[in-house]
Structure 1
Amino acid sequence: MSEPRVGSEEDSSSCGGADVEKHLSCPSSGLVAARLTIVVGDTHFSEEKMLLVQSCDYFQALYRSGMKECQQDEIHLKYLHARGFLIALAVLRGEMPILDGDDIVEAIECAAFLQVIPLAKHLINLIDPDNCLLMYHTAATFGLMDLYHAAALFIRDMYGDLEAEVRKTLPSELTSYIESLTPSVFVAVGAHVTCGAAETVHAASRTVCYLDETANTWKVLTDLPLEASTSMAGVTVLDNKLYIIGGVHGLHKQVAGSFCYNPENNSWSRIASPAQLRYNLSLVGVDGCLYAIGGEYERTTMSSVEIYNVKTRGWTFAAHLPRPAAGAACTKTMGRIFVCLWRPMETTEIYEYVPGKDEWRPVTTMIRHQSYGHCMVGHRDNLYIMRNGPSDDFLRCLMDCYNLSSGQWSSLPGHFANSKGSLFTSVVRGNSVFTLNRSMTLEYIVDGKSWKPRRQLKGFPRSGSVWTFLLRLPETLMLK
C-alpha cells in the first residue's frame, strides 16, 4: 500500500441549518413576536411567525416574495395532513417525538412540502430496521433527498437481512440505487505513541485496519501520519472521515497534533487542535461538528468542552461538564450526545448535551454495585452501559439499558465476556453490535433489549487500547 498523503483539510457539512436574512428579524418586518394562524384541512394552528420563517424554507420564501399572503394573519396550506404539521411544530419547539406508520408518511410529506430542515434531520435520526424501507420509499415519493439517501445507506448496511424484503416491496430503480452504494466496514486502530524520526513508516502499530468480513481477515487501510498519536487521543468518525484529536507522545505526555483521514482520496490532513491542550478526552461527531469533551492536561482533569465546526475549521468553547472527567464513556444516538460521569463508588450519572441551549442536561442516574460505566453504546432510543462484573471477576462485565422514551432502566441477563477489551469498544451497524479483542470479533444482534451472539470473526491482533468505528471505503481502496 502506498503511503497516505498529508495535505490541507477539506470542507464538510456545517453544524447549523439555514440562516434567516437579518431584515426578516428586524422590528420593521412585522415578524418579531407576531403570530400566524395556519389552517391545514379543518385544523387551525397558531404559531409565532419567526419560528416558522427561521425553520421552513417555504415560509422564508413567502415572506421574501412580497405576495399578499405576507400581510395576512391566516394562511391555508393545501395538500398537507394536520398530523404532519403538528409533528413539524413539535420538532421546531425542540421535542423529539418517536414516530411510526402513518405518522412517518405525513411527517415526510410535511418536511418535503414546507422544506422543514429540522424535521428532515429528526426523521434521519429515527431511521431503524423497522422503518427504513418505509422511510426510503416515502422520501423517494416526496423528493426528500437527504432522508432518501440516509435511508438507502442504512438499508445497504443491513442488506443481508433486508434483501428479500427489498426485492419484494421496492421498485427496481430504488433497489438499484441501494445496491450502487458502498456498505460500511468495521475499522480499528490501536493505541500508538510516536517514536520520532527513526520510526518506520509502515510499523504495524501505526496501521488503521478494516475487517474483510467475507475473507474473515484484517487488512491494512492506511498508516497514521508520523506526527500523529492515538495514545490517550480522541478518535471518532464524522461524515465518513476519521478524526484523531490530541493524543500524547513522550514520557512527559506532550500533546500531539490533530488529523483527519478521508477515505475517498486516501489522504490525511492536519487540522486545528483545541484551544485548550488536552488528552484522554472523549470525542464525538454530530451534525457537522466534533465535540471534545473533558480530558486532562498536566495532571489536571478538566470539565471544559470545545466544539469544532468542520465547515469553518474553528474551535469554540461550549458549556462545561457538570464536573471534571477524563476518558468518560460517551456516545451518540438519534442525533443526540450523551456522556457518563462516574461518582464513586456506585453511581453513574448520564447527561445529554443540548446544542440549542448550550447546556448539559441530567438524564438519569444508575446506582449499581461496581457501577462504573466503562463504555456506553446507543441503539435506537436505548443507551447500553457496560460495566465490570463482580469484583472477583473483572474479565466479565454486566450491561444495563436505559430507554430514553420511557425513562426506564433494565438489566440485560447474564454476564458478557470481556477478555482483553471486548465490549468496551462496541460499534453499532443497523441491528448489529460489533465488539472486539485480540482473540475474536463478535457480532451481536440486538433483539428487543437483549444481545444475542450472531457470529464470530477474527480478532484484532494488537495489544493495548483499541478504537473501533465504521467507514465506507471506495472499492478501489479495498482492492489494494
Structure 2
Amino acid sequence: MEPLLASCPGPEADTVPQFGASELGEGEELAGPLRVRVGDSVFTVDRTMLAGSCAYFRGLFRSGMRDSRTNEVYLQGGLQPGGFLVALAVARGERPPLPDADRLMEAVECAAFLQVEALESHLADILDTDNCLLLCQASATFGLHKLFTSAATFIRDSYRDLKWVAEESLHPDILSYIESLTPASFIALGTHTPSMKILQDTYRTVCHLDEEQGVWRFLTDLPVDSSTSMAGVAVLDGRLYVIGGVVGVSKVAVDRGFCYDPLTNTWTDIPGPTQSRYDFNLLGLDGKLYALGGEHGRKIMSSAEAFDVAAGTWSFIKHAPRPVAGAAGAVCRRRIFLCFWKPPDITDIYEYVPAEDEWTLITTMVRHQSYGHCMVAHRDNLYVMRNGPGDDFLRCLMDCYNITTGQWSTLPGHYINSKGALFSAVVRGDAAFTVNRAVTIEFAVATTGWRHRREMTGFPKSGSLWTCLLRLAREGSQEEAERKENVEEHDGDEVKENGLEGHV
C-alpha cells in the first residue's frame, strides 16, 4: 500500500511563491549576494549557496529568464521568515533545534515550496514522539514524500504509545497507511563461526522478538561460512550485514561479508574490508558501511574503511585518532560517534564526519573506571553504559551526553547488567530493548532515567549476543509466505530442543 498523499489536503495553486524583481545591470554576473524578501523581512544570501541547497533557486538561476538576473527576489504565497531562516541555517551545515510547532510548520512549508532537500532531511532527522504526528500530517499536506515516509515508519515503531493520539489527529488515509506497515523488530544473533551445514549448528540461528507473545521466534540461519565471533554487525537501509569475524582460538580472520534481505529471506555475499580486520565497529549511514579500527594479527589498528553498498567497493577513509578495537559506537541524528578509552578513568567520544573525512573530539568523560562499554542514541542524546559501583560489571552506571547542548548528565541509580544484558541495548522510539539468556527487558527511555517497562523470555542461546532492529516482511505478504515456507523445512525436534517458538 502506498501513502495516499494525493487524498490529503494540499496547497492551493495560488500559494506557490511568486517573484517580484528589479533587473540587474547589463553584463553583471549571476554570482554574489542576492536580496530575498520574505514577508516583512529581507535576507542577503549568497547565490551560490542558494543554488547548491535549494532546487527552486537552482532552477531559477539556470532558466535564463529575466528573473534569473535580478538583485532582489520577493517570495510571496504564505512563506514565513522563520522557515526561510531555518532553511538558511541548514544550508550552512547547522542543525537547528525546532522545539515549537509553529516553527516546525514554517520549516515544512519552506522545504516544500522551495524544494530544500537538506531541510527535509533535517526534519526527518529530528523526528521524535513529540513531533512525529505533526510532521507526518504536515508532510502529507505539502507533499514531502521522504519526510512523510520517515514520519509514518517512526509512528509505526512507536504505535503502542501513540495509537490513541494518532487516531485522534491524523487523516484516516494516513492512519491506514501507517497501520499497513510493520514495526522494526528486535533481532538477536548468537556466536557462530564457520561450520558444515550437515552439522545443523543451532548457533547459526537468527531470531526476532514476538512482542505480542513475549517470545523469540526463528527468522533465518546465518550462512555456514559466516562468523559472528568478533565480527562487525550493522543494519543499513533495511538489510542486515555481518562483516568479517574470526575462526578458532588463533583468530584467523574471515575476509568476507554477508547481507540479509528480510523481504526476500535471502543472504548474499559481499567482499570484506581491504584491510583484514576483526573486533572492529561497524556502523551504517547514508548508503555506506563504516568499518572503524579493529585488530589484525593481534595488533590493534587505527585504520578505517567505508563500503559503498551501491558500488560494492571498499575504500580507505582517514585513520582514527588512535588505535581502537571493540569500541562502543552509535549513529545519532545521522552523525557517527565512537568511544575511545584512556585507561583507567577517561572515555573520549569522537565524531567521524564523512563529508569532510575528518575525526573531531566531541567530549571527554572522566569517571572512575569510566570505560564506555556500550553506547546508544535516543533523540539527540548519547547514553554511555560504564562499570558500576566498585568496578562492578553486574551493575552499570549510565551517563547521558546531549550533542545539541554539549552537556553531560548522570542518570540516577544503577542498572542490572547480569551476563551483559545492558550491553545489547538498542533503541526504538522511546523504548530500549536489552536481552540475555535469562530475560528480555524493555525500558522506557528518558533523560531522567530508564524506567523498567516489561520483561519477556530471554534469548535461548549462551555466549555473546549481537542485537539490532530490522523491519521484516508484513504478515500475509508474498515475502512473508515465502519465508514461512522456508521455515517449515526445519526440523521440529530441533525447535523443541532449543526453545525457539514459531520455528515450524
Instruction: State the TM-score, normalizing by the size of structure 2.
Output: 0.86
Partner of 1:129: 129
- Post-superposition Cα deviations, 1:228-253, rounded to whole Å, max 9, x if no partner, equal 11111110101110011111123432
Partner of 1:441: 440
SS across alignment from 2:282: strand
CA contact (8 A) 1:188 1:468 kept: yes
For 1:290 and 1:310, the matched residues in 2 are separated by 7
Partner of 1:200: 198
Partner of 2:173: 173
CA contact (8 A) 2:369 2:391 kept: no
Partner of 1:53: 51
Greater shift after overlay, 42-51 or 77-86? 42-51
- Residue type matched to 2:213 in 1? A
Greater shift after overlay, 121-130 or 97-106? 97-106
For 2:203 and 2:159, the matched residues in 1 are separated by 33
- Post-superposition Cα deviations, 1:398-427, rounded to whole Å, max 9, x if no partner, equal 111112222221111111111111110110
For 2:448 and 2:246, the matched residues in 1 are separated by 38
SS across alignment from 2:95: coil
- Offset of 1:29 from its aligned partner? 11
Greater shift after overlay, 469-478 or 300-309? 469-478
Partner of 2:273: 274
- Residue type matched to 1:254 in 2? V
- Residue type matched to 1:36 in 2? L
- Post-superposition Cα deviations, 1:143-182, rounded to whole Å, max 9, x if no partner, equal 1110001100011111111111111111211111111111
Runs of 4+ in 1 over 4 A off after TM superposition: 28-31, 477-480
Partner of 1:428: 427
CA contact (8 A) 2:412 2:448 kept: no
- Post-superposition Cα deviations, 1:270-290, rounded to whole Å, max 9, x if no partner, equal 112221111111011112111
- Post-superposition Cα deviations, 1:291-340, rounded to whole Å, max 9, x if no partner, equal 11111111221111211122222222222211110011000111111111
With over 3 angstroms needed to count, the CA separation of the structure-2 counterparts of 1:200 and 1:29, relative to structure 1, is farther
Gaps of 5+ in 2: 1-26, 488-504
Higher relative contact order (CA 8 A, sep 6+): 1
- Residue type matched to 2:159 in 1? Y
CA contact (8 A) 1:370 1:390 kept: no
1:39 equivalenced with 2:43 (yes/no): no
With over 3 angstroms needed to count, the CA separation of the structure-2 counterparts of 1:73 and 1:312, relative to structure 1, is farther
- Offset of 1:38 from its aligned partner? 1.7
CA contact (8 A) 2:400 2:447 kept: no
1:64 equivalenced with 2:58 (yes/no): no
CA contact (8 A) 2:432 2:442 kept: yes
SS across alignment from 1:423: helix
SS across alignment from 1:442: strand
Partner of 2:500: none
CA contact (8 A) 1:328 1:339 kept: yes
SS across alignment from 1:120: helix
For 1:252 and 1:438, the matched residues in 2 are separated by 27
CA contact (8 A) 1:444 1:455 kept: yes
CA contact (8 A) 1:401 1:449 kept: no
- Post-superposition Cα deviations, 1:344-369, rounded to whole Å, max 9, x if no partner, equal 11000111112222211111111001
With over 3 angstroms needed to count, the CA separation of the structure-2 counterparts of 1:29 and 1:379, relative to structure 1, is farther
User: For 1:270-349, what aligned pairs fall within 5 Å after superposition?
Assistant: 270-349=269-348
SS across alignment from 2:90: helix
Greater shift after overlay, 42-51 or 231-240? 42-51
SS across alignment from 1:70: helix
- Residue type matched to 2:461 in 1? R
User: For 1:132-171, what aligned pairs fall within 5 Å after superposition?
Assistant: 132-171=132-171
Gaps of 5+ in 1: 1-27
User: For 1:66-465, what aligned pairs fall within 5 Å after superposition?
Assistant: 66-79=64-77, 80-100=79-99, 101-195=101-195, 198-200=196-198, 202-256=200-254, 257-391=256-390, 393-465=392-464
For 2:441 and 2:470, the matched residues in 1 are separated by 18
Partner of 2:10: none
- Residue type matched to 1:379 in 2? H
CA-based RMSD of the aligned residues comes to 1.7
- Residue type matched to 2:65 in 1? M
CA contact (8 A) 1:386 1:399 kept: yes
- Residue type matched to 2:186 in 1? F
- Offset of 1:201 from its aligned partner? 6.5
- Residue type matched to 1:62 in 2? L
Q: In the comparison of the two structures, how many residue pairs are matched?
A: 450
For 2:418 and 2:157, the matched residues in 1 are separated by 28
- Residue type matched to 1:346 in 2? D
Greater shift after overlay, 380-389 or 41-50? 41-50
Q: Which has the larger radius of gyration?
A: 2
CA contact (8 A) 2:232 2:282 kept: yes
For 1:92 and 1:350, the matched residues in 2 are separated by 26
Partner of 1:4: none
Greater shift after overlay, 435-444 or 313-322? 313-322
- Residue type matched to 2:366 in 1? I
SS across alignment from 1:228: coil
- Residue type matched to 2:90 in 1? V
For 2:81 and 2:438, the matched residues in 1 are separated by 55
For 2:161 and 2:86, the matched residues in 1 are separated by 31
CA contact (8 A) 1:136 1:147 kept: yes
For 1:447 and 1:306, the matched residues in 2 are separated by 34
CA contact (8 A) 1:386 1:400 kept: yes
